Structures are given as structure tokens and as C-alpha cells.
Amino acid sequence: ALPDVRDGFKPVHRRILYGMLGIGNTSNNPYKKCARVVGEVLGKYHPHGDSAIYSALVRLAQPFSIRYTLIDGHGNFGSIDGDEAAAMRYTEARLTKFTQEAYLSDLDKNVIDFGPNFDETEKEPVVLPVRVPNLLLNGADGIAVGMATSIPPHNLVEIVDGVKAYMKNNEISVKGLMRYIKGPDFPTGGIVINKDELLKIYETGSGKIKIRGKVEEEKLKGGKVNLVITQIPYPMVGANIGKFLNDVAGLVESKKATDIVDISNQSSKEGIRIVLELKKGADVENLKNMLYKKTRLEDTFGVNMLAVADGRPETLSLKQIIEHHVDFQFEVCTRKHQTLLNKELEKKEIQEGLIKACDVIDLIIEILRGSKNQKQVKECLVNGVTEGIRFKTKASEKAAKKLCFTQRQATAILEMRLYKLIGLEIEALVAEHEETLKNIARYEEILNNYDAMAQVIMEDLDHIKKTYGRKRDRKSVV
């Protein structure tokens, strides 16, 4: 029940996203019934009951539960007021484009390890190749035996800037990182009122963040004022909104808040809007302070940045989480480019064999026509063995003895089609070979040069930030 520091996921979330990718439930394909997804994950990877999987899937699709939704839900996925999602046979889902690009790309390039599933009939990823520090991005909460984790969500733009600052100077302090990462960015907004304690929280990995809802004054005709709550503390999500309304009603009934005439919850998909209608000449400031003091409009978010690092649970500081993430990115990037380099080296070998074969094609045709079987041809091409092959001339046999193609090149020559001997096709092959050599040089430069690999990772982060990042559109925290 604790997230891994590398991808920020617990096993159930990792399995849901990988399972959805496995059945082609991607952003460019139609939605699939959630029951279909749950069945896939339950049957192949997570034998722990369908309700546990479905509730985790629903949470990944709720914009008020996590800062960046990873699943695109279609249908009733519950509400911020605590209404539950419809049954999985009614709702539909698919991966978001952000999830595919930042969480699941390059799985075919041997970037992570796969392990056996519960009955050893399938392979599942040990960790996902997440390109952003998801542990900070969407936060985490979970309870394990004798320990619990609670990490607030953050803003993608700020996190990317913080990671880049660390990569440019790994001696940077937590205070230095906080020039970029101002504080948490909750999906419900809210204002952090103990900003001076954030540094200590981020340095130690534990503490309490005090959050207030955002209250705006709406002036009406006749000098009346309405108090409108447009942002709420993150812990208020769900049943606590109803509790807040009941608490305010209780204050009115007990004559503690006589200035409130009416209260209505006008929240919609557009956002939170709880309206308190006040009497004319009401003491607005006094009323605000009473709401903060007596209701959940001011609440605390307990921070305990506990995650599994190097196989054991550890309470981490902000810098340590970024450090682990960057180390993981270098590992993923190394494995990716090593795989790409190996593919290009294979291509180079075959291309060189075909170019060489084009120069001696008449001899190769003579060997093919004079041989009894494929094995004989291969032996001649690789080792220059001419026994049993009929040659037209002694010169041809002498030339054949000098041949020394590799096994892979010999196979490619035997599979080559005759149209490849057209002049333009040979030119295209030479051009392709030059491109392969450029790719090899580029991949070797990335693998052998720390700065070159760091540049690749930072360009990747910049692309994700530009495509999916949004600056704080509300004055939360800062």
C-alpha cells in the first residue's frame, strides 16, 4: 500500500494503467466499459477483488481527487460532494494522452524490468517508465502495516523547473528548490496559511499544512453582501462538504451566526460555489473568522512523505524524491538508448553486407546456381567453403574462397529481392546506411556523455511541460 519513489504508484495503479494499455484502451481508441478493464486487471495482475480495482480506477479519473487525471472517464464517476461513481457496468474509460506520453512510453525499448504475475502466466512491469516525478505531481496516500503515507500534489510546471534546477546543480538545497516549487497545488485550490512552515516540512518530509478555503465577497444591490466560497481545503472533498453545510446551519440555529440568512450549494462541473446570503450591514470579517474557526473551512493536511526507495520504506525530503526520480530517469534513458544503439548496429551490419553483396552480385548468383542447398550457399558466403559448388571458371571459385560475410549478412543476402539491384534502390540503401551511422554516433554520444543525456532528459521534460503544464490558475498556496 506504499508507492514506489520511482514511478509514484502503488501496485494496483500500475497494474490498471498497464492493463489498459495492454487491451488498447488508449486515448485514440473508443472508450471501453470499466467492467472490461477491471476484469483484465483482476484476471491477469491483481487478484484482490473487483471493488478495490474499480475504486482505484475511479480515483484516477476524478479531477477533484488527483491533480492530473490519468484516466479519461465517461459516465458518472462520482462528484466532489461525495456521491459515488456508478457501477462499473455503466461507466466507460480510456487512458489520457498525458498518461500515454509521460507514463507509458518506450515500454518496448527494454527501459524497465518485467516480473511474473501472481500465477506466472503473464509478465507485468516492476515499475513504470514515468518521465515526471509522479509522487510529487499527484501526491499519494496509503496505509501499510504500522506506517502511513500522505504526500500533497504539486504543479507540473513548477515540478519540471525544480527537477531541471536539480539536474543543473545537484548541490541545490531544499530552500533553493522552493524558488521553483512554491508549495502544494491541490486540485480543489485553497490557501496555505502556514507558508513559513513549508520549508521545514519539505526538508524533513513530515508536518502539517494548514489550508483555508477561498472566500469572496459578492456585493448586491441595496448594500447587501453574499459570501461565496470558490475553493475548499483538499480534506473537505467528499462527505465533508455536507458536514460543512450542516455546521453552518448549526451555527445559525444556535444563534452564533445571526448574520447568515440562507446557505446554498451551487457547485457544478465548473467548480465550487457555496453561497452564504447575509443580512444588510453584517460584520463580514467576523463571520469569515468564525467560519475558519468553527467549521472545516480551515483544515490541516498531514504530510508524511513516505515511499518505497531501494526496496524499503523511507521518509524522504523534497530533494531526495527529486534525486531518486533523476537517478531513475538516467537509468531509463541509458537502457532506452542502449536498445536503440543495438538495433542500429544490427541494421549497420546488414546494410554493409548488402552494399558489399551488390558489388559481387554476379559471383553470388553463380554460387546460388551451382549449389545444391541453402546450407552450402551460407557456408560459402560466411567461410569461403566452395566444395560441392559448380563454378563456371576457376577465377570465380578463387573469388568465392575469399568471401567472409557474417551469418546475419548471409541471411539478409539470401532473403534479398531482385528489385533491390535497381540503381536507385542501391542509392537509397547507401543513404539509409549513412543515416544509420549518424544515429549510432548520436546514441553513443548520449550514452558516453553525462551532459548529453541530461540534455535529452531536460528536453523531454520541457516538451511535457509545454504540452500539458498549466501555471496556477488560482492563487492557491502562493
- By annotation, the residues acting in catalysis are 90
Position 221, amino acid:
K
Q: How far apart are CA 4 and CA 117, in angstroms?
A: 18
Q: How far apart are CA 275 and CA 278, in angstroms?
A: 9
Q: How far apart are CA 33 and CA 54, in angstroms?
A: 11
Q: Give the CA distances from residue 287 to residues 3, 257, 272, 476, in Å, rounded to whole numbers and listed in that order.
A: 41, 7, 20, 22
Write the DSSP string, 147-210: EEEEE----HHHHHHHHHHHHH-TT--HHHHTTT--S---TT--EES-GGGHHHHHHHSEEEEE
Coil, strand, or helix at residue 45?
coil
Residue with cell 526520480: 325
Q: Where are the alpha helices (DSSP H) in 62-133?
A: 97-103
The grid cell for 76 is 458518472
Non-local (6+) Cβ contacts of 406 within 8 A are 349, 353, 382
The grid cell for 169 is 546543480
* Measured CA angle at 308 (ends 302, 311), to 5 deg: 160
Q: How far apart are CA 360 and CA 405, in angstroms?
A: 12
Phi, psi dihedral angles at 310 (to 5 degrees): 55, 40
Q: How far apart are CA 344 and CA 452, in angstroms?
A: 19
Q: Are 2 and 142 in contact (CB under 8 A)?
A: yes
SS (H, E, C) 234-299: HHHCCHHHHHHHHHHHHHHHCCCCCCEEEEEECCECCECCEEEEECCCCCHHHHHHHHHHHCCCEE
The grid cell for 152 is 500533497
- DSSP character at residue 87: P
Q: How far apart are CA 376 and CA 386, in angstroms?
A: 8
Phi, psi dihedral angles at 297 (to 5 degrees): -70, -20
Position 247, amino acid:
D
